Chains A and B, each alone.
Chain A
Amino acid sequence: RKEVEQDPGPFNVPEGATVAFNCTYSNSASQSFFWYRQDCRKEPKLLMSVYSSGNEDGRFTAQLNRASQYISLLIRDSKLSDSATYLCVVNMPYSSASKIIFGSGTRLSIRP
Chain B
Amino acid sequence: DTGVSQDPRHKITKRGQNVTFRCDPISEHNRLYWYRQTLGQGPEFLTYFQNEAQLEKSRLLSDRFSAERPKGSFSTLEIQRTEQGDSAMYLCASSPPTQYAHEAFFGQGTRLTVV
Contacts and interface: CB of A to CB of B under 8 A. Distances in A.
A57 to B, nearest CB: 14
5 contacts: A6-B42, A43-B108, A87-B43, A94-B101, A102-B42
Contacts of A49: 103
B101 A91 contact: yes
Given A43-B107, A43-B109, A97-B55, A103 B101 contact: no
A97 B44 CA distance: 16
B99 interface: yes
B67 to A, nearest CB: 14
A102 B106 contact: no
A41 to B, nearest CB: 8
Interface of A: 6, 8, 31-32, 34, 42-46, 49, 87, 89, 91, 94, 97-105
B103 A43 contact: no
Nearest to B43: A102
Interface residues of B, number: 27
B45 A45 contact: no
B33 interface: yes
A34 B101 CA distance: 10
B106 A34 contact: no
Interface in B68-115: 91, 93, 95, 99-109
B104 A100 contact: yes
